[in-house]
A and B are shown apart, each in its own frame.
Chain A
Amino acid sequence: MGTPLLWRAFGSVSGLTRPRRNRAAGAASPHDRDRIFSADVKQEDQFQYAKTHCLSSYYSVFVARLAIMVMLAILIGLLTILTWHFTRSYTTKSLNGLAYGLRYELLQRPILRMWNILNSTVEITTAQVKLSEYVIRKYNKPTSQAEQIELYEMMKEVTWALFASRKALNAITINYRNGFVQAFHRDHRSNNTYYIYSDLSNYSITSSGPSSSEPLSSLRGWNDQSIHGNLSAIWYREPLDPTTGEKIGKARPILPDDLINIAGISQVPDGTATWHVAVSKYSDSPLLSAALPVWDPSRENIVAVVGVTTALYSVGQLMRELVEFHSGHIYLTSQQGYLLATSSNTPLLNNTPKGPKLMMANESQDPVIRAGAEWLKRTYGDNYPPSHEVHVENARLGDQHYYIDSFFLNLKRLPMVGVIIIPRKYVLGKVEERAFKTLIILICASLCILLIGCLCILILTNGVSKEMKLRAELISHLDARRRAEASSNYKSQFLANMSHELRTPMAAVIGLLDILLCDDCLTNEQYSTITQIRKCSTALLRLLNNILDISKVESGKLVLEEAEFDLGRELEGLIDMFSVQCINHDVETILDLSDDMPRLVKGDSARVVQIFANLISNSIKFTTSGHIVVRGWCENLNSINEDTKFSLEHKKPLCALKAKLLKQHGKTIIKRALNLKKDSTAILWFEVDDTGCGIDPSKWESVFESFEQADPSTTRLHGGTGLGLCIVRTLVNKMGGEIKVVKKNGPGTLMKLYLLLNTPTDTPELLHQENFAQHGISVVLALHGGMGRSMMSRWLAKKGVFTIEASDWNGLTQTLQELFHPRRSGSPNSSFRLPYSIVEAEMNLGDRIVAQNLVIVIDIALLDLSTEIWKEQLRFLDRYSRRVKFAWLLNHDTSNAVKVELRRKQHMVMVNKPLYKAKMIHILDTIVKETTMSSSDERISRSVREGEPHECLEMENIPFECVISSDESDTTEAANNAEARGDLQVEVSDQACYGKHIERYDVFNGSEGKFDEGRCEEQGNSGSGNPAPNRGKSLEGLRILLAEDTPVLQRVATIMLEKLGAKVVAVGDGLQAVNSLNCTKSADSKEMNRVMPGLVGTERSPTYDLILMDCQMPKMDGYEATKEIRKSEAGTGLHIPIVALTAHAMSSDEAKCLEVGMDAYLTKPIDYKLMVSTILSLTKRTDP
């Protein structure tokens, strides 16, 4: 019932809040709200939804709480009412029954008494009648007065006997036919007994004679008149002793007023017994009088009437007694309502002037009786129920409740009504009080229970609602979190999608910067600025890449490729790349892959490279000196051969790892195994070991978190975002591996990781492991870096190649001297040590090794390149060149001059640093090939050496190609570590340029003459053809005579014109110019007869298309020369254009020039364009 109301209220509340919110939003952003804040609004809506949801749940809880309370209230109320009702109604009912019985009983007893009184009265009356009849019969027909008197005396005796026997009797009267009256009267108040008789003189026996014949009519004639009419009669009263009946006083006539009721014939009109209630002056209570006729023996005439009067006093007495005991009031009334007896002491008679009269019940002086009578009268009026029985249980009289019961006693001639009024309090007072108390207690108790119950419910539901609220909050929080996650996911996805869009412009920027850097015409400042820009761009690109990679991984878009690739080669490329960076840092980068590494693996090469690139660049960043070693070894999952080198270190974790691996990746491995039965999964272990600052052990785990750096100062010192290692771990995990930082001896960090990669089993085993020991190769490793050198020598020793190490130039020279001049230079303090076998050192080392192939791998850094000493050093080495092979390790920035010099000295094997196994194998292969060739055929080997420049170039290019290819693949796939690569790219491109340039240079030098010829030829060809329209050669085919005395100008002008394609003849002064012109003319003139004029191009005697004439010249100046030329031309019709060249920049000069016959005018310095246009305009004009 309350629920819909609540809902409506809630609805109105929410309806109120919503528009307000909207209004607020509208005020905040009137425009673009929909677009820009749509997301916000949506969120807010959702929030609102959650809030309303919460609110609704709150309301529902509230409603439920209310409902439970109401139910409880109803229940308790019902219980209370039922309890009260049952307790009360049953008690009341039984009590009512009891009360009825009591009332009935109470009323019955006075009625019984009444009845008794009546009965006794009747009995006495009857007895009196019987006795009277007997006596009268005996004295039948008294004829005489004496007899009459005797009869009366007799009657008096008899009557006295009866009267005395009954003390309760008030009076016995005998009224004879003749009007004589005998009566005994007892005054209860004065306790006197009187005998009352009338005067005999007036009465005669005879008088009754006539009446006997007509009993009925005589009876009528009798009537009251005999008493009241017989007023003349004198009544006497004689006090008697109440016990003996002896006459104690003198008879005294009494006034008729004092007469007692004497029953007359009128009271027995039909000859039967009658009853009536009478009052007397002597008694304050009504009297019950019964009258009975006395018949004569023949039963024809009534001879006398006997009346017996009994006071009803005793009934009232009884009632009083009863009422005293039971309380309440009882009264008896006649049918007419006259009071007969009451339980109270109030008088029953009205003292009127005519004597006492009966009073009505409702006139009683007792208030209760009067009230009861009035109530009865009011309620029933005259319409009593037929039996006159009334039972009212709850009549209100005054201010009290009473039971009123009335009974009807139907006596013949005297019907009576008994009424009993008992206060309700008497019967039900205690009960009702108790009931009321019970009710109050019950109500109180139920109220208490209700209150407590409500409280309990409140508390209980409060807890529930609190829980619900919390739960709702939790749900909303979860929702918010999910939304936040989703939005973060969107961000990641967005970034992942944006990656291409972001990278492309960056790549363009960097590419353009590279082009700009290659440009020659940059000043130092510009160059440094652009370099800075480039560095910044690469840094930005790296950052972008990292972020994008992370987002890609986070958004789950990173899908690893599955393609075969050469892991070794990729790593070598990487090392090549980083070594360039490291050389500036004095850090050695070493790649140490064990031989059992599978050459080809399946996986995502770009990502694998990225892992190592990140790790190595990280190491480089923190390593200022020392070395960075990348170690790798393999472990076949199916048959784990514990590597001897690392077995001690990894035995324990390996077993655990294997178990873990099988657990973790068991499924995928099985799947893979099912899919690719040919493949077998290998665990590739790697270590990246550096000698940098190291990582605090507490940070070993956290460095792999995103944006986490081991030291907060790192960002300041080294930059970076802390994403690198996170990406690495993600990638490693994606490849089914793990990475962690491992404790290492000494300074630095040791990162250990493994990858699960498939290796195609069907790949043919690469048989590059030629047994170099067979070829008797010995190696002298003259390398700077100690770590790499020792590693390499160990590896070579394992391969059966004898190695000697040397760390610097002195060491190398000593080694060489020891090897080749052992006896001479057996100095005891030599720093050279044979690390492996002293026994061998004891032997004639020189012979032994020289007999074999001795390869000296020499680091270019051993040479002193800063000064010119390196040439001396080379010369020193040259002495051994016939007996040993040199393999040079070049730096990326080794100058071309050095390379050229080396090549010149026939040191053909050159590789770039760093040296790793593949390169070593390559070197040894080359040398082995060479030696086999030379041993087989000496002459051929010579010729091979002649042609070796190409080979050497080829070989040198191998690492370049390698690097370039890897670099290209990197840039196409993902430009990670762009800086390192970018640097490398620059270096590589420079080197490539140098290489190319040298090549070109060689070719150029080799075929210079030929080239000139070719060019001339070409010139001639083009000269015969139409002049090329391009600007470069716009003066193609023109022959120009240049007259200029200043050698500088002459040279400049010549070259300028030649560059334009013209053929120039330069002369020193005007005279020469005139002469040369005349000379050609004379030659021409001969031929011109034969050959068509205007035909140009005859080789021997060229005519000139144009003359450039300096104005100021020695011997003959320009003006003079022009005048001369024009003079000679006169008449021939020829007009050779002459252009003045002058430093005089005045108009007068120009006028002077034109005056002497020049065609145009050019000022010095010669303007290139102006000159071209001038010449062209002049020659075209003259062209046929």
Chain B
Amino acid sequence: MDAVHLKRQLITFTEQLFREGFLDEQFNQLQQLQDENNPNFVVEVVSLFFQDTERLLDELSKALDQANLDFKKVDGHVHQLKGSSSSIGAQRVQRTCIIFRNYCNEKNVQACLKCLQVVKHEFALLKSKMETLFNLEQQILAAGGPPSI
């Protein structure tokens, strides 16, 4: 496929992500940080985010499963998730985290569980989107287009 065409597709897709609120300005900053020194920086960071988040989500579900809920722990995890998601600009995840933390403070177990589901859903969505995005980038590279996004 034409590299240029792919690129246009990529740009369109990114625009869409921004518009739908999956990503925010932070992601652009992230992209700006990528240069010759760190050619795969964005992918790297985002993968890190995925791993970290998966881990956090795992822990969160575990923590929420327990009989006596340690809300502090849950809050810490959510806080962390919030921090990391905001750092890569995963806006929707971040927002959900804020709500999550509020419920944590209220010690509302049901709401917390619900929030966990939402976060998981949001994360899955984001992950798939980001994977599409990176796939596109890879394709561009393969088609001989410029490696920058």
Contacts and interface: CB of A to CB of B under 8 A. Distances in A.
Interface of A: 520-525, 527, 893, 895-897, 990, 994, 997-998, 1015, 1045-1049, 1051-1053, 1055-1056, 1058-1059, 1110, 1112, 1143-1144, 1164-1166, 1168
A897 B11 CA distance: 23
Given A997-B146, A1052-B33, A1052-B88, A1046 B83 contact: yes
Given A1052-B88, A1059-B35, A1143-B82, A1165 B143 contact: no
Contacts of B11: 520-524
B45 A1168 contact: no
Per DSSP, chain A at the interface is helix
Contact of B29 (A1049, A1164, A1168): A1168
A338 to B, nearest CB: 158
B86 A1164 contact: yes
Contacts of B7: 520
Given A998-B144, A1164-B86, 9 more contacts: A524-B12, A525-B12, A895-B144, A1046-B84, A1052-B87, A1059-B35, A1112-B79, A1165-B86, A1166-B87
Given A1055-B33, A1168-B29, A523 B84 contact: no
A1048 B35 contact: no
Contact of B52 (A1015, A1047, A1055, A1112): A1047
B76 A1049 contact: no
A1049 B3 CA distance: 32
B103 to A, nearest CB: 17
A1144 B45 CA distance: 22
B142 A1046 contact: no
A521 B83 CA distance: 29
A525 B19 CA distance: 15
B42 to A, nearest CB: 10
14 contacts: A990-B4, A994-B144, A1046-B52, A1046-B80, A1046-B84, A1049-B84, A1052-B33, A1055-B33, A1055-B34, A1055-B45, A1058-B37, A1059-B35, A1143-B86, A1164-B82
B51 interface: yes
A1015 B35 CA distance: 14
A1143 B79 contact: yes
Contact of B89 (A527, A1045, A1165): A1165
Nearest to B38: A1055
A896 B80 contact: no
B84 to A, nearest CB: 4
Contacts of B89: 1165
B15 interface: yes
Contact of A897 (B35, B38, B144): B144
Contact of A1049 (B15, B37, B44, B83): B83
A1051 B83 CA distance: 13
Nearest to A521: B11
B8 interface: yes
Contacts of A1059: 33, 35
A525 B11 CA distance: 11
B22 to A, nearest CB: 15
Most B CB within 10 A of own CB, among A527, A997, A1143? A1143
Contact of B48 (A1045, A1048, A1144): A1048
A1055 B42 CA distance: 10
B82 to A, nearest CB: 5
Contacts of B143: 895-897
B41 interface: yes
A521 B4 CA distance: 11
Given A897-B144, A994-B144, A1048 B38 contact: no
Contacts of A1166: 87
List the 5 shortest-distance A-B pairs measured between CB atoms, nearest first: A896-B144, A1165-B86, A1048-B84, A1048-B49, A1143-B83
A1056 B4 CA distance: 29
B86 A1051 contact: no
A1056 B26 CA distance: 12
Contact of B45 (A523, A895, A1052): A1052
B8 A1048 contact: no
Interface residues of B, number: 39
B28 to A, nearest CB: 10
Nearest to B44: A1051
B52 A1048 contact: yes
B48 A1051 contact: yes
B9 interface: yes
B30 interface: yes
Contacts of B84: 1046-1049
A998 B82 CA distance: 42
Contact of B8 (A527, A998, A1045): A527
Contacts of A1048: 45, 48-49, 52, 84, 87-88
A893 B144 CA distance: 12
Given A522-B11, A896-B144, A1052-B30, A1164 B83 contact: yes
A1109 to B, nearest CB: 13
A522 B87 contact: no
Contacts of A523: 8, 11-12, 15
B67 to A, nearest CB: 24
Contacts of B82: 1143, 1164
A895 B7 CA distance: 15
Contacts of A1053: 87
B25 to A, nearest CB: 9
Nearest to B75: A1112
A1165 B79 contact: no
Contacts of A527: 8
B78 to A, nearest CB: 10
B8 to A, nearest CB: 5
Contacts of A1168: 29
A897 B52 contact: no
B124 to A, nearest CB: 17
Most A CB within 10 A of own CB, among B7, B11, B41, B84? B84
Contacts of B142: 897
Most A CB within 10 A of own CB, among B15, B49, B80, B148? B80
Interface in B49-106: 49, 51-52, 76, 79-80, 82-84, 86-89
B64 to A, nearest CB: 19
Interface in B115-149: 142-144, 146, 148
Contacts of A990: 4
Contacts of A1165: 26, 86-87, 89
A1143 B82 CA distance: 7
B70 to A, nearest CB: 14
Contacts of A1015: 37
Contacts of B33: 1052, 1055-1056, 1059
A1046 B49 CA distance: 9
Contacts of A1164: 82-83, 86-87
A40 B114 CA distance: 85
B144 A522 contact: no
Contacts of B52: 1046-1048
Contacts of B45: 1048, 1051-1052, 1055
Contacts of A1056: 29, 33
Contact of A1112 (B3, B29, B80, B148): B80
Nearest to A527: B8
Most B CB within 10 A of own CB, among A520, A1015, A1110? A520
A897 B2 CA distance: 11
Contacts of A1047: 48, 51-52, 84
Contacts of B15: 523
A1103 to B, nearest CB: 24
A1165 B89 CA distance: 8
A114 to B, nearest CB: 159
Nearest to B26: A1165
Most B CB within 10 A of own CB, among A1046, A1056, A1059? A1046
A998 B3 CA distance: 14
Contacts of B83: 1046, 1049, 1110, 1112, 1143, 1164
A994 B4 CA distance: 12
